């Protein structure tokens, strides 16, 4: 439904080829997150306009969903 209202969908995926920093983050943009451990379902991935990762530094590869949400929301407002 969000796409019908003009939103672009960016799905968070730690293995995505593009960084959240690399895409157009101007509104209207919706960030889509999957379940912890399983990530985005295939149908959800296919619906997204972009699959993006958060650029994390150090040995950390992923964050739990609540932390990933906070970081992603901060990133799109910069």
Question: What residues does each domain of the chain span?
Answer: 3-77
Mean pLDDT of 44-66: 93
Which pLDDT score, from 0 to 100, does residue 60 have? Answer: 85
Span 20-49, pLDDT tens digits: 999 999 999 999 999 888 899 999 999 999
Start-to-end Cα distance in the chain: 26
Two structure tokens written together for 16: 């995505």
| CA 42 – CA 57 distance, rounded (Å) | 27
Can you name the CATH fold of 3-77? Alpha/beta knot (3.40.1280)
> From the centroid of its chain, how far is CA 70?
11
pTM score, two decimals?
0.89
24: Cβ contacts below 8 Å, ≥ 6 apart: 8
């Amino acid at each position: 439904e969000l796409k019908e209202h003009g939103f672009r969908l960016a799905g968070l995926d730690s293995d995505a080829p593009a960084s959240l920093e690399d895409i157009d983050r101007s509104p209207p943009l919706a960030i889509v997150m999957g379940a912890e451990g399983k990530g985005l379902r295939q149908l959800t991935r296919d619906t997204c306009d972009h699959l993006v990762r958060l650029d994390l530094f150090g040995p950390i590869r992923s964050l739990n969903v609540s932390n990933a949400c906070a970081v992603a929301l901060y990133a799109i407002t910069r």
